[in-house]
Structure 1
Amino acid sequence: MRIFITGASGWIGTAVTQEVLAAGHEVTGLARNDDSFARLQAAGVTPHRGSLDDLDSMRDAAAASDGVIHLAFKHDFSDMAGAGATERATIQMFGDTLAGSDRPFLFASGVAGLAPGRVVTEDDEVPFGGPDSPRGGAEQLALSFASRGIRPVALRFAPTVHGQGDHGFTSVISGVAQEKGVSGYVGDGSNRWPAVNRADAAKLVALALENAPAGSRVHAVGEEGVSALEIATALGDALGVPTRSIAPDAAAEHFGWIGMFFALDIPASSAKTQASLDWTPTNPGLIDDIESGYYGTK
Structure 2
Amino acid sequence: MSNSFQTSVFFVGATGYIGGAVLTRILQHPDRPRLDITALVRSPEKAKKLEKLGITPVLGSLQDTGRLEDLASKADIVVACADADDLPAAQAILRGMARRKELTRDVPVLIHTSGTGVFSDNAAGMRPTSTIYSDANVEQMASLSPNQLHRSIDLAVLDADSKGMIKAYIVLPSTIWGLASGPLIDAHIANPHSQQIPMLIKASLARAQAGMVGEGKNLWPNVNIDEVADLFGLVFSAVRAGRPIGHGTDGYYIGENGEHMLYDVSRAIGEALVALGKASTDKVTTFSPEELDKYFGGSDYLGTNVRCRAEHSRAIGWKPVKTTRHMLASVKPEIEAILQRPEELKV
Smaller-chain TM-score bracket: 0.7 to 0.9
Q: 1:126 to 1:84 in 2, by over 3 A?
A: farther
Residue identity over aligned pairs, in percent, reads: 18
- Take 1:105 and 1:246, find their aligned partners in 2: how far apart are those partners? 41
Q: Which residue of structure 2 aligns with residue 282 of structure 1?
A: 321
Residues 151, 213 of structure 1: 8 Å contact kept = no
Structure 2 residue matching 1:294: 3-state secondary structure: helix
Question: What is the match of residue 227 of structure 1?
Answer: 261
- Over the aligned positions, Cα root-mean-square deviation in angstroms equals 2.7
User: Of 226, 230, 236, which residue of structure 1 is paired with 2:270?
Assistant: 236
Deviation at 1:134, TM superposition (A): 4.2
Find the structure with the greater CA-based Rg: 2
Q: CA deviation at 1:49?
A: 2.3
Aligned to 2:88: 86
8 Å contact kept, 1:251–1:259: no
**Equivalence map 1:132-211=2 (5 Å):** 134-135=149-150, 137-146=152-161, 147-164=163-180, 165-211=192-238
Assess if the C-alpha contact under 8 Å between 2:216 and 2:262 holds in 1: yes
SS of match in other structure, 2:153? helix
Alpha-carbon distance in structure 1 between the residues aligned to 2:143 and 2:178? 24
What TM-score, normalized by structure 1, do the two folds share? 0.84
SS in 2 for 1:234: helix
Q: Which residue of 2 aligns with 1:55?
A: 65
Query: How far 1:64 sits from its partner (Å)?
Result: 2.5
Superposed CA deviations along residues 179-219 of structure 1, whole A, max 9, x for unmatched, are 11111223432211222111111111111123243210111
CA distance in 2, matches of 1:39, 1:181: 38
The CA deviation at 1:136 is 7.1
Q: Following the alignment from structure 2 to structure 1, what is the Cα–Cα distance between the partners of residues 86 and 54? A: 31
In the other structure, the counterpart of 1:218 is: 253
Structure 2 counterpart of 1:77? none
- The answer for unaligned runs of 5 or more in structure 1 is 75-82
2:296 corresponding residue in structure 1:
256
Distance across 2 between alignment mates of 1:43 and 1:14? 12
Give the aligned length.
285
Compute the displacement of 1:40 (Å).
1.6
User: For the residues of structure 2 that align with 1:16 and 1:197, how far apart are their CA atoms?
Assistant: 13
Give the aligned residue type for 2:22.
V
Q: Give the TM-score of the pair, scaled to structure 2.
A: 0.73
Deviation at 1:175, TM superposition (A): 0.4
CA contact (8 A) 1:104 1:209 kept: no
Please point out which of 18, 22, 39 is paired with 1:29.
Answer: 39
Q: Supply the AA of the counterpart residue of 1:2.
A: S
